[in-house]
Amino acid sequence: MKNIDTITVDIIENALKNIKEEMDVTLFRSAMSPVIREQHDCFPMITDAEGQMVVGNFGSHVPEVVNQFPEGVHKGDVIFVSDPYSCGGSISHVNDWMVILPIFSGEELVGYSSMFGHVMDVGGPVPSSMPVTATSIYGEGVRFPPVKLFEKGQLNESIIRIIKANTRTPMENYSDLMAIVASCRTAEKRVQELCERFGIDTYFGALEALLERTNKMMRELITNFLPTEPVSFEDYIDDDGLGNGPFKMKLTIWREGDHAYFDWTGTDKQSPGPINYYLSEPMFKMFIGSFLISVFDPAINFNDGFYDVLHIESPEGTLMRPVEPAALGCRTHALSRLFDVLSGALSINTPENSPAAGYGTSPYFIYSGYDQDGRYFNLMEVMYGGLPGRPIGDGLDGHSWWPAFVNIPTEYLETYYPLRVEYYRTGKDSGGAGMNRGGNCNEKLYTCLAKGTVSIHDDRSTLQPWGINGGEPGGSSSKTLIRKDGSKQKLDSKVDNIEVEPGDQILFITGGSGGWGDPLERKPEQVCMDVKRELVSLEKAKESYGVVLNPSTLEIQREETVELRNQMRRLRGNLEAFNFGNRADVVKV
């Protein structure tokens, strides 16, 4: 490696981080689908010439994809892929469209830019292409193995025609794809400018230094926070939408020196339904790194430099490593629950240092049909829930488990789709009680203004998000169809093609999250404020926190509170490290 001063390394590092942000901005301003444009369901990446991610939000898949082109890559090439099985699971279902663009400075390959985003519809039997009843990936829509969308600068029009012929939203899909390409071209231009400014050798030296820096810091995290003896933790997905389940996800972790080991042995076999998650090794390493860095040292730059110190075992034929052509469309339940399992495993020996469980999925609301003017509409909205109570404070109310995601503004929904949002709020009492309260869920009431169909993807409807270190579990999710005549019908958490008429309503309630720490240790003033903000009810303040408030003024009744808390401490048993709520009633061992 060329000797390079740390200031230059820092300048190039921050330039690359800014380029990554510019990729996002380019995409958000160009895409048409609200899931990308408004909710930011996309993941950028910039790599070195070998395909190692230097900055980005997901593990590098570049070598595996590029090696499928024996002719190599050239200036002007743009690779497109939407098949999880063709890229080792780096994208997790066929709605994720990924682009890889080689970056040349002069005639030398200096790296790759890549971006993938969730497009609205890729065909298949149901709108938005994530059928709950799918039993293989063949029933989930059109998938593309790695192909050259552009070859030496020339657009392959045949690919565009195939795309447009196999989607309910051809205009949106085409625009989204070109926006993804544009974001990668933005990175291409900016990286070329860096190479011109500093020289290719200096640029390469900085990338190598960044990777080595992250490697060294990750080794320190592993040594400081991972156990030397194997520890295991398990959590469950409710069901697969076809009547099967619950499905166990089990993870065992340990370290040997400064190397970490993660073993999914004991996880249930792959599901007949579409909740399988094809977990690529690089992607899981990325998740581990993201989790460890965000929890223990957010200052570390997130890149592929630490991958050689992580070792993954994921048995084939299981929920986390299904065999092709297993269905993958509803994989977000396993994808999100992965973080709860990882958190639980890391907290076995030190529950006081780890968060509780969150809402553990990625809920989808899908509404499609024809409006009063005969125009086709297809809405897919990602919903959020409670993030867990943590050692440093309360969990976030109604937040995405992925930090960069945001909600679709109500004004956008009501402008572009035939629906009305009656209210969008956090669900009172859905966050588990604790010294640090679990985040509350989201409650959203939609009124449908056009005839159409509704599909729902969610989880945590039967198994609660667990509390930790004495905290209570969070609330479960639920869905209700309210007909315009006032009659109500409970809906499953995974269901397709519910027919709705103008005036019908859908009440969509997501899962809450677990609390952290003894609820009786929470300051009465905090509980009082939660009640005033309508996050906690008077009843829960008294029953879970032992805080007595005046029903009229909401002032703390000090003497009654002290007396009640002392009584609750005397009567209760020892607090457990984990409170799994109703798990024993649902899971049959």
Is pLDDT larger for residue 134 or for residue 280? Answer: 134
Sign of CA dihedral 266, 268, 269, 274: negative
- Range in 81-85, 194-198, 295-299, 452-456 the model is least confident about: 295-299
Looking at this protein, which amino acid is placed at residue 388? Answer: P
Q: Which domain-ending residue is among 183, 215, 247?
A: 215
Residue 150 banded pLDDT, cuts 50, 70, 90:
very high
* Encoded tokens for 515: 């609390």
Q: Which residues contact 292 (CB under 8 A, 6 or more apart)?
A: 218, 221, 222, 225
For residues 384 and 512, membership in a common domain is answered with yes
Q: What is the pLDDT of residue 589?
A: 57
pLDDT tens for 350-382 read 888 889 999 989 999 999 999 999 999 999 999
The CA-to-CA distance between both ends of the chain, in Å, stands at 55
Neighbours of 138 (CB within 10 A): 11
353 in a domain, yes or no? Answer: yes
Q: Are strands 259-263 and 376-382 parallel, antiparallel or unpaired?
A: unpaired
Exposed/middle/buried for residue 227 (C-beta within 10 Å: 0-12, 13-18, 19+): middle
pLDDT tens for 411-432 read 999 999 999 999 999 999 999 9
Provide the residue range defining the domain that includes 306: 231-521
The phi, psi pair for 55, rounded to 5°, reads -135, 150
Given a cut of 80, is residue 1 above it in pLDDT? no
333 in a domain, yes or no? Answer: yes
pLDDT tens for 502-545 read 999 999 999 999 999 999 999 999 999 999 999 999 999 999 99
Given a cut of 60, is residue 76 above it in pLDDT? yes
If you average pLDDT over residues 217-235, what whole number do you get? 93
Q: What is the pLDDT of residue 98?
A: 97
For residues 312 and 198, membership in a common domain is answered with no
Residue 404 banded pLDDT, cuts 50, 70, 90:
confident
Exposed/middle/buried for residue 243 (C-beta within 10 Å: 0-12, 13-18, 19+): exposed
Angstrom distances, CA of residue 452 to CA of 346, 416, 447? 45, 15, 12
pLDDT tens for 444-458 read 999 999 999 999 999
Q: What is the mean pLDDT of the chain?
A: 95
225 in a domain, yes or no? Answer: no
Neighbours of 38 (CB within 10 A): 19
Q: What is the dihedral of CA 252, 494, 514, 431, to 10 degrees?
A: 170
Q: What is the pLDDT of residue 147?
A: 98
For residues 200 and 240, membership in a common domain is answered with no
DSSP 556: B
State the total domains in the chain: 2
372 in a domain, yes or no? Answer: yes
Angstrom distances, CA of residue 188 to CA of 38, 109, 193? 24, 11, 9
pLDDT tens for 185-221 read 999 999 999 999 999 999 999 999 999 999 999 999 9
Nearest C-alpha neighbor of 191 from the set 49, 351, 352: 49
For residues 110 and 249, membership in a common domain is answered with no
For residues 348 and 410, membership in a common domain is answered with yes
Q: What is the pLDDT of residue 3?
A: 76
Say which residue the tokens 């640090």 belong to.
436
Q: Which domain-ending residue is among 521, 550, 577?
A: 521
Residue 43 banded pLDDT, cuts 50, 70, 90:
very high
Determine the 3-state secondary structure of 177 from DSSP. helix
Q: What is the pLDDT of residue 281?
A: 81
pLDDT above 70: percentage of residues in the chain: 99
pLDDT tens for 474-485 read 999 999 999 999
Phi/psi-derived region of residue 581, left when phi > 0, alpha when psi is between -120 and 50, beta in every other case: left
Neighbours of 44 (CB within 10 A): 27
For residues 158 and 121, membership in a common domain is answered with yes
For residues 253 and 202, membership in a common domain is answered with no
Q: What is the pLDDT of residue 537?
A: 98
pTM: 0.94
Contact 429, 509 (CB under 8 A): no
For residues 210 and 249, membership in a common domain is answered with no
Q: What is the pLDDT of residue 2?
A: 59
For residues 449 and 331, membership in a common domain is answered with yes
For residues 398 and 498, membership in a common domain is answered with yes
Q: Which domain-ending residue is among 521, 545, 561?
A: 521
If you average pLDDT over residues 224-232, what whole number do you get? 93
409 in a domain, yes or no? Answer: yes
Q: Are strands 247-256 and 259-263 parallel, antiparallel or unpaired?
A: antiparallel
Q: Which residues contact 288 (CB under 8 A, 6 or more apart)?
A: 260, 262, 310, 342
For residues 291 and 206, membership in a common domain is answered with no
If you average pLDDT over residues 19-33, what whole number do you get? 97
435 in a domain, yes or no? Answer: yes
* Encoded tokens for 20: 């990554």
Nearest C-alpha neighbor of 91 from the set 263, 286, 227: 286
285 in a domain, yes or no? Answer: yes
Q: Which residues pair with 455 in a beta bridge?
A: 366
For residues 431 and 375, membership in a common domain is answered with yes
